[in-house]
Amino acid sequence: MNRGRGLRLLMLLTGIGMLVFYALAASLAYGALLYLWQQRPDPAMTAVIVVAVALTFGYTSHQFGRARILGALDAQVIDERRAPAFYRRVDELAAEIGVDRPRMLVARMEMPNALALGGPSDGDVVLDAQLFRLLDARELEAIIAHELAHLQRRDGLVQTLGYSLVQTVTGLLLLVLLPLTLLVAGSVRAVGYMRGDSIARIRETTTRARRTVTSLSVVLLFVFTVALRAHSRRRELAADDRAVAVTGRPRALANALRKIDRAAAPTGPLASLYIHGDEQGTLTRLLATHPSMDERVARLEARADEQCVRIPIR
């Protein structure tokens, strides 16, 4: 009995001590933020500094990320001496789109794919080795034109800078909320000790309290992420349109996308166990980086039908 009372008293004193500690920590954090706020430059300069820092980190991340991706894929440069006709067509497409010839690389990916890294003057286009077997010459040309369109608009860099800016703003909001987070989460933790709750229960309630306080930053991050993903989907459609404008063959790109989608889809008796492509659901669509393949193909087929209508009958 005495031992139980002693443990109860110890937990009560621990809880009181935690309450005082977290209250002091919250007060110090608030004081530090108040001091920083008083020392801040004018709002315009503050915004410029925040954006500059975010963009600098984003650009650095993009450059290192690009090298990391190429290394992870073990991408190899396609030898021009072995594919002169291929490079001649790449040069023609690059000139029409308005970019310097990118490095053309081949890699073995998990599924048929192509990706563009860099910008108009320093681009890399990586093609999965399966594409050369899967697509005919016109379809492969359409896919390359699509990737060159991404390089022309620096889509990869823009997306990386956008995410960097979102993360910076979210981090600043979490910093502003730090005093409140310390006070609320610390108080909940301390009360749990004073009530004699189990350690698991204290951790659970503390985590819930911390998440409640920081939910505003989570909501902000979600909203910005949805906006960035929507921009990414628009840029995919714009790259499709640019590729069609340059090659004049929307059906070739549609066929290429169909073949890639079909080759990427798992088949066989275990196919239902795999996650693939265009899963349904509002949240899935909101967070998708690419439009659904059906939407892209339908748009391209409509463009092809329009071309047929415009061709005069003799």
pLDDT in tens, 206-264: 888 888 888 877 888 888 888 888 999 999 999 999 999 999 999 999 999 999 988 87
Range with lowest mean pLDDT among 139-148, 181-190, 272-281 = 272-281
Q: First vs last Cα of the chain: how many Å apart?
A: 105
| Tokens read off for 139 | 């379809």
Look up the pTM and report it. 0.74
Q: What is the pLDDT, as a whole number, of residue 89? A: 96
C-alpha dihedral (115, 117, 122, 124), degrees to nearest 10: -40
Identify the helix (H) or strand (E) that includes residue 121. Answer: none
What's the CA angle centered on 236, arms 232 and 242, to 5 degrees?
A: 135
Q: Looking at the predicted structure, is the pLDDT value of residue 6 above 90?
A: no
Mean pLDDT in residue range 44-62? 80
Residue-level pLDDT at 265? 59
Environment class of residue 198 by beta-carbon count within 10 Å: exposed (0-12), middle (13-18) or buried (19+)? exposed
The Cβ of residue 285 has, within 10 Å, a number of other Cβ atoms equal to 15
Average pLDDT over residues 163-179: 83
Map out the domains of the chain as residue ranges: 59-160+223-265+279-310
Task: Give me the pLDDT at residue 309, please.
Answer: 63
Is 50 exceeded by the pLDDT of residue 283? Answer: yes
Q: How far apart are CA 129 and CA 112, in angstroms?
A: 8
